[in-house]
Amino acid sequence: MQSHYWETRQSMTPEKSLLYLQEGNDRFLKNIRINRNLIELVGETSKEQFPFATILSCSDSRVSPTLIFDQGLGDIFSIRLAGNIASTNAIGSMEYACAVLGSKLVVVLGHTNCGAIKGACDNITLGNLTELIEHIRFSLHRETVTPADQRNSKNTAFVNHVSELNVLHNIEIILEKSSIIRDLIQNNEINIVGAMYCIETGKVNFFEVDAHQIIDLMFANPVHSALYQHEFTTD
């Protein structure tokens, strides 16, 4: 197996980008890797980068996008923030990656057993972390199936459900705040998807979400969140 870089970039599409990530995670699960000459890639990417995917993920030390998708230098534009929060700076970084560098896919990647989500579930306050956790509370309130006495970090199913809703909520924030990302999606130049990484198994499950439909619903009825009217499944 050889690295794909410049020879594949000009023909890259959102569909191919997603396929590369899925194939990479499958290799990761099988404990095999593409045989890359990393020093050679240092030279190839020294003057220009062309990351095919942009990934907003959690800062968790167990969740390294380049590793879990078996990618090399220059393949992934990685934006990491606890709770995979779509802050203004994170969205600006996505806009740069897609509009300037040519990324074809944006992935909002949550994960199981997330510490930031647990903090929100337990109503933790801790210095500047408190502001970050406030971003998660919307998703916490949208989780309506768990009884009150089970809504805490000890309930793994509850934590992971909030994590999934948090991924979808941050997709909504990106689409709402970034006209650049919206335009690229509507012109079919890029796509945006959600995903969850299972820290217990190493598997990434992608959400089947129609970004075009989300945009249409969001701006047709901005009072109600389009994402939470939308059922989603994983692969």
Structural domain includes residue 214: yes
Range of the domain at 74: 6-112+177-229
Which amino acid, 208?
E
Structural domain includes residue 35: yes
CATH number at residue 11: 3.40.1050.10
Residue pair 228/139 in contact by the 8 Å Cβ criterion: no
Q: What is the pLDDT of residue 223?
A: 55
Beta strands in the chain (DSSP E): 53-57, 76-80, 105-111, 191-197, 204-206
Structural domain includes residue 77: yes
Give 10-residue mean pLDDT values along the chain (235 residues): 57 93 97 84 79 96 96 92 95 97 96 95 87 88 92 95 96 94 96 97 92 83 50 45
Q: What is the pLDDT of residue 188?
A: 94
Structural domain includes residue 131: no
Instruction: Determine the Cα–Cα distance for residues 108 and 191; give it in Å rounded to an integer.
Output: 11
Q: What is the pLDDT of residue 7?
A: 57
Domain total for the chain? Answer: 1
Q: Is the pTM of this model over 0.85?
A: yes
- Helix (H) or strand (E) run with residue 25 in it: helix 14-29
Q: What is the pLDDT of residue 44?
A: 76
